[in-house]
Amino acid sequence: MQRDAHSGGTAVLPALLSRPYPAVMGVLNITPDSFSDGGRFAAPEQALAQARKMVADGADIIDLGAESTRPYGSQPVSAEDELRRLKPVLADVVALGVPVSIDSMKSDVVAWALDHGALIANDVWGLQRDAGMAPLVAARHVPVIIMHNRDNADPSIDIMKDVSAFFARSLDIAAKTGISTDQIVLDPGIGFGKTPQQSMMVLARLAELSAFGLPLLVGASRKRFISTVTPSEPDRRIGGSIAAHLIAAQGGAQIIRAHDVAETVQALRVAAAIRGQQ
């Protein structure tokens, strides 16, 4: 099933960003080693059931990933392995009717997914790791999520300057390859290449990134920094995740990436309704 992503991809962002509360991106990891739900949705029938649940719970996007990108202990996999995991799942998830983003740092994987119904590229290395990613996104005219990342956390750096410099490099790559700015979303990469304190700093100062004039996505769901405040396992961090996401929404995030979709949707909509009374 080949599909022209141009026909649907360019309309995705305006529809998602036109409401008074952030859109919610549901996380669907079809991997054996993701930090929060490794193995739970590796089988196609489990993955599809979870995708259906997230749509029923109010997810606006399904973010489908076939390689764990957790900062600590993840094992790199080949493009062939990613595709082997994606092929039994993607078409059924696309058929649910909400936009699907493909969470991959490999342009070959993203290209296949776009050919088969995905509408958004989600690159955790912000167009800076795979030289084929930017030309692919430009040619397909699809939205791209550019995430800040580092190979290693460095507690001595000014993390906001680092994030801004990274985004500037990524946006230069995007401009040189012809990616339209109205198709770009910036993600500061909470938990990636950052100490827990730096992740919290980015959340606290998120509004500074509005200077780029582009939509912001935040994914703080179940991240390790929460446990440094209140010790907890990943599946016991819903409260901390919601707190972080409400702060992110207040700071200008227009898309929230979350594992616990129903709770996140409720929190964001109630917060927006309360602000509407002011």
- Name the phi and psi angles at 249, rounded to 5: -60, -40
3-class SS shares of the chain: helix, strand, coil, % to 5:
45, 15, 40
Q: Are 254 and 17 in contact (CB under 8 A)?
A: yes
Region class of 48: left (phi > 0), else alpha (psi between -120 and 50), else beta: alpha
Q: Are strands 253-258 and 144-147 parallel, antiparallel or unpaired?
A: unpaired
Is residue 139 within a helix (H) or strand (E), and if so which, with residue range? helix 133-140
**Catalytically annotated residues:** 223, 257
Is residue 135 within a helix (H) or strand (E), and if so which, with residue range? helix 133-140
Q: Could you tell me the two tokens for 92?
A: 């059924």
**In the chain, what's the furthest Cα-to-Cα distance?**
53
Neighbours of 146 (CB within 10 A): 32
